[in-house]
Amino acid sequence: MIARDTQRTSAALISVVIACRDAEASIEANVASILAAASRVRHRQVEVIYVDDHSTDRTVALLSHHPVRVIHSPGRGVSAARQEGVRRACGSIIAFTDSDTVVSSGWLEALVKPFVNPHIVGAAGITRILPGTSLASRVRSTERDLRNERILSSPMPWQGWAHGTNAAYRAEALRAAGGFSPAWYHAEDHEVGLLLSEGKGRIALARHALVTHQPEEGLLRLLANRLRNARASARVYAGDASRVGRDHYFSSTRLQAALLLSVLLCILLAACGQTAQWSWLLLCIAGVLLLAYALSYRQLLRRIPARPCQLPAALGICALKDTAIVLGTFTGLLLWLLSYPACKRTLDALSSALLLLLLSPLLLFISIAVIVDSGWPVLYMQERLGLRGKIFRIHKFRTMPPGSEPDGPVWRTERDARFTRMGAWLERGNLNELPQLWNILKGDMSFVGPRPERAHFHTLFLARYARWGERLQMRPGLTGLAQVNGFVGDTSISGRLSHDLAYVTRRSLLLDARIIIATIARFFGISVPESITRLRVPDRGLPSHGASARGPARAGRQRDAPRARPRHAQGSEHTTDPGVKILRRSPRRNAKRGRGRAP
């Protein structure tokens, strides 16, 4: 059943999102196949969403004749278009495919079937590529068929990731992980698979969800795609190399690429050899490796629809393709090493190690003071959500008595009744955060980034703010753009989110330096120019999922407020999200008690 003009999120609704750009030639067949597959889904409605990525042909005009929703995107790439579709989709399950594909009649029904298991967060189908007229396209098609056979013959029902051409995800899990990052113009499906798997979710294999892709004609197009995908995938997996071997994209080619690289190295060393003996030995090794390389493709050469005289040319195409993969992988790793995340991680590790050494006397003094004031333990450890939703244990100096949350998580406020005397002093100077230098050294956190939240509050805020999960695209920070602009502790959640998203969008080493300078200046009470920390923060996309337009606080007014602490930070306005417990001490009681122990 096709849903029209859906406005509300529904558990009985399935959304299908297709990013398209200049797809005039294939869009009619694509729409017809998707509508046919949607009509076969029983007991659930289906909304079909096409996100037009700034097409210049008749794509949008052709889509207007069909019962589908068309969303316009400013042309920032497939990943950004898919993320816009995720933001606008109303279904509890969101399926994805491309505009140059034709899906089978039972595709959608088979793709959503694994979601009866509540532990499944994603599903991956089988994608075929039609053989074209050129030899390169036939090599590509045969290679994909062999890979599909290996996947289907595997006893494992799980996948490491889902190809963007044929995938479905739980909308809640996808949004919680941050969705598709516009920073990844290619290989965005690798990134999403990594996000969901790090969140301990499983991606099931939907064996009967079949999608047929149009042929990739031309050798240059094949090589360009392989170079591009390998480069992007290497950058995605640079932070977790252990996943490369489990990735289906790499598993089918890593042996051939390694053999070919060894052959090239042996030939290069033989050409540079000083003696003929070593040169002949290296050439013999290269010959053996070349034979092994050819044998690794024996199954493909048997299956490829080509004449015997074309088989050497087919092997040459495979060699060029693997060369493109090797070059793309090394290029991607090099770009990652020179990229902002790698440089920032290096600076974080070096700076945190140095500060731990220099501040060790202060850390020892605070530890003794905490013991004298309220006894053991000195440190307080709590689980928080980090990069890509990965759970880590944050370290702080204890500022409250043990067991201060007997009834579940409670939102901490400036006048919290649970603070000890030493804890209140540490909180005023934020000295309780110093042990997080160890988290920065380990790689769980960074000096600058969105502050990490507990899973309980993350779930609450995600239900209220559609873009809350995008904060997980960055490592959480010791300080951030929201904090230096006054959004600390019991302040507006929507205002904090606005600044966090502005930082995620415009992150740079220069912005990090400005935030660190502003943080140090605020700590010592030094005034700094507003230009150091002020950014034009967009007021968009924050309240959602039925939230009011005002949200828990008026972010627009705070954005234009002076740099001094906003009015709501002084107690006139506070977090009012449902389910967030707040313990607040009155000023009169505060003066009488003198010490902030819980009653």
Mean pLDDT for the stretch of residues 136-151:
87
Give the pLDDT score at 483: 87
Closest CA to 294 of 268, 318, 261, 326: 318
Residue 115's pLDDT is: 92
pLDDT tens sequence across 245-261 = 445 444 456 666 677 77
- Please say whether the beta carbons of 551 and 577 come within 8 A: no
- pLDDT tens digits, residue range 270-280? 777 666 667 77
Contact in structure between 51 and 34 (CB atoms under 8 Å): no
293-297 LR contacts (CB < 8 Å, sep 24+): 293/256, 293/259, 293/260, 293/263, 293/319, 296/255, 296/256, 296/259, 297/256
Percent of the chain surpassing pLDDT 70? 75
Which helix (H) or strand (E) element contains residue 36? helix 27-39
Using only C-alpha atoms, what is the Rg of the chain? 28
- The answer to whether the beta carbons of residues 563 and 571 sit under 8 Å apart is no
The mean-pLDDT minimum among 105-119, 132-146, 168-182 falls in 168-182
Q: Summarize pLDDT for 188-240 with one digit per residue, the tens.
A: 677 777 667 665 678 888 989 999 998 877 888 888 888 888 877 777 666 55
Q: Where are the alpha helices (DSSP H) in 359-492?
A: 360-374, 421-429, 436-442, 455-464, 481-484
Choose among 598, 223, 267: nearest CA to 403: 598
Q: Helix, strand, coil proportions of the chain in percent (round to 5)?
A: 50, 15, 35
The DSSP code sequence of 376-388 is S-SEEEEEEE-GG
Please determine, for residue 556, whether its predicted confidence score (pLDDT) is greater than 70: no
* DSSP state at residue 360: H
Instruction: Give the closest residue to 193 by CA, choosing from 124, 127, 126, 90.
Output: 124
- Inform me whether the pLDDT recorded for 241 exceeds 60: no
pLDDT value of residue 47: 94
Residue 74 has pLDDT above 80, yes or no: yes
As a whole number of angstroms, the distance between CA 498 and CA 504 comes to: 10
396 or 230: which leads in pLDDT: 396
Contact 133, 217 (CB under 8 A): yes
Strand partners, 410: 581
pLDDT greater at residue 588 or residue 276: 276
For residue 471, pLDDT over 50 is answered with yes
Give the model's pLDDT for residue 535: 61
Averaged over 341-358, what is the pLDDT? 92
Number of CB atoms found within 10 A of residue 4's CB: 10
Asked if 103 and 97 count as a contact pair (C-beta separation under 8 A), the reply is: yes
| Most confident range, picked from 113-122, 195-204, 231-240, 490-499 | 113-122
pLDDT at 155: 74
Mind listing the pLDDT tens digit for each residue in 573-587?
344 444 455 444 444
CA nearest to 91, candidates 182, 174, 21, 197: 174
pLDDT of residue 35: 94
Cα 302 from Cα 281, distance rounded (Å): 32
Q: Is the peptide bond before 377 cis (omega within 30 degrees of 0)?
A: yes
Domains of the chain by start residue, with CATH: 10-216 (3.90.550.10), 218-338 (no CATH), 341-593 (no CATH)
**pLDDT of amino acid 548:** 36
CB atoms within 10 A of CB 173: 17
Compute how many other C-beta atoms are within 10 angstroms of the C-beta atom of residue 362: 11
Model pLDDT, residue 240: 55
Q: Which pLDDT score, from 0 to 100, does residue 540 have?
A: 44
Question: Which residue has better confidence, 293 or 416?
Answer: 293
Which of 405-414, 544-553, 556-565 is predicted with the least confidence, judged by mean pLDDT?
556-565
| In the predicted structure, residue 563 carries a pLDDT above the cut 50 | no
Say if pTM beats, i.e. exceeds, 0.75: no
What does the alpha-carbon distance between residue 202 and residue 193 come to, in Å, rounded to a whole number?
A: 9
pLDDT at 442 over 50: yes
- CA torsion through residues 527, 528, 530, 534, sign: negative
Report the SS3 class of residue 301: helix
